Amino acid sequence: MERIYLDNNATTPPIPAAAEAVARALGAWGNPSSPHASGRRARALLSGAREAVAALLGAPPAEVFFTSGGTEADNLAVAGGARAAVAAGAARRVVTTAVEHPAVEEACALLAEEGFEVVRVGVDGEGLLDPGALARAAAPDTALVACILAQNETGAVFPVAEAFAAVRSRAPLARLHVDAVQAFGKVPFTPAGLGADTVAVSAHKIHGPKGIGALWCRAGRRPLPFARGGSQEGGVRTGTENVPGAAGFGAAAAAALAEAAARRERLARVGAILEEGLLSLPGARRNGPPAASRLPGTLNVSFDGVRGDLLLLALDDAGIEVSTGSACASGAAVPSRILTAMGLPPERARGAVRFSAGALTGEAEAAAAVAVAASVLARLRDSLSPPSGA
């Protein structure tokens, strides 16, 4: 069976250039901190990768620090950033949104266990954020404000630059963090343009390898590190660097930068096919904002009377791979925390399925997925209908 992969917000298949870069770098087995020839070879690969990731971010390479992924980058920025701000005189207060990825949400929960006050700002029924809400929730001595740039389940893109400009004038001590893992390579932004102090990104969301991410840090606003024991990555993230992972990340970032406009156009076309086709099916309801305020190629949809987990399994049997929400919450029996925060009824939230395209998704695949979904939905509804005369 030819399969169609539409779960790119969870992870993306690596492009050949990234896989080849990883394979080549495995031969550069030296420690990049060593001064001899093998170490210098590994260090050169690491530097080249840093430059490529920085170029896609639109930032200086010296401000980019490799991590094990977006989750570590978010945890480091949120917990380490808040602690650094308190050390500089801020109060133990953190402001974030009610629809953050678990990497930020659980880092905030950790801070709450340490005695921080955590304020979560809500969103509207389409999952969009009022840019002034973060500033209104931030007291002048707030330690940290964290805001996702593109929500991973609904695709909602938040007006972070506008929100952070208001926060900065009201809470000058606050560290401003952006989880840009889902937005990286899909919507144009720069850390400076967002007004951020830290920005988290990841390789496997842009067709690179898993197990490697990065944290951009504004000069003079680095978070306190979690681990001790070395000076790697400027002391922000100690431990011998993952050179093969970084090399793959660099290759994926270079391709994303070179193909940026073409990828956005392709994602927009594929997304339009998915939206037009899926929302035309009986009982379909979009969960999230219109396409203009959403990541291209991402659509969260519920179908009246059909459970999302059953639909996912039926689609998988038919060769279509999608998600019922955040990959980090897959298998959960409770309604999505994100959709619940939007005010969706539990049954609709439990029925949600996310279709997410990537740079490798074709228009024909999107059209075929819609046709299969229509057939699968009809079969599911038939199977759930009571027998005639019952």
Which pLDDT belongs to residue 326?
A: 47
Q: Which pLDDT band holds residue 332 (cuts at 50, 70, 90)?
A: very low
CB atoms inside a 10 Å sphere around CB 367: 15
Which pLDDT belongs to residue 385?
A: 66
Q: Per residue in 130-185, pLDDT tens?
A: 999 999 999 999 999 999 999 999 999 999 999 999 999 999 999 999 999 999 99
Q: Per residue in 218-254, pLDDT tens?
A: 999 999 998 888 889 999 999 999 999 999 999 999 9
CB atoms inside a 10 Å sphere around CB 29: 12
- Domain boundaries along the sequence of the chain: 4-12+260-384, 16-258
Which pLDDT belongs to residue 327?
A: 47
In DSSP notation, 157-201 reads BP-HHHHHHHHHHH-TT-EEEEE-TTTTTTS---HHHHT-SEEEE
What is the rounded distance in angstroms from the CA atom of residue 127 to the CA atom of residue 353? 16
Per the listing, tokens 């990731």 go with 53
Active-site residue, selected from the candidate residues 108, 147, 217, 328: 328
Catalytic residue status for 147:
no
Q: What is the DSSP letter of 237?
A: S
Q: Per residue in 14-44, pLDDT tens?
A: 999 999 999 999 999 999 999 999 999 999 9
Query: What's the pTM?
Result: 0.95
Q: Which candidate, 383, 257, 361, places its Cα nearest to that of 314?
A: 383
Which pLDDT belongs to residue 113?
A: 98
Q: Which candidate, 303, 279, 278, places its Cα nearest to that of 373?
A: 278
Q: Per residue in 8-17, pLDDT tens?
A: 999 999 999 9
pLDDT at 77 over 90: yes
For residue 320, report the phi and psi dihedrals to the nearest 5 degrees.
Answer: -110, 125
Q: Which pLDDT band holds residue 268 (cuts at 50, 70, 90)?
A: very high
Q: Architecture of domain 16-258 in CATH?
A: 3-Layer(aba) Sandwich (3.40)
To the nearest whole percent, how much of the chain has pLDDT over 70?
96
Q: Which pLDDT band holds residue 265 (cuts at 50, 70, 90)?
A: very high
Mean pLDDT of 203-217: 98
pLDDT at 387 over 90: no
Using alpha carbons only, what angle is made at residue 38 by residues 36 and 42, rounded to the nearest 5 degrees? Answer: 115
To the nearest whole percent, how much of the chain has pLDDT over 90?
92
CB atoms inside a 10 Å sphere around CB 173: 17
Contact 164, 348 (CB under 8 A): no
Class of domain 4-12+260-384 (CATH, top level): alpha beta
Which pLDDT belongs to residue 20?
A: 98
Q: Per residue in 365-381, pLDDT tens?
A: 999 999 999 999 999 99
What is the rounded distance in angstroms from the CA atom of residue 222 to the CA atom of residue 228? 15
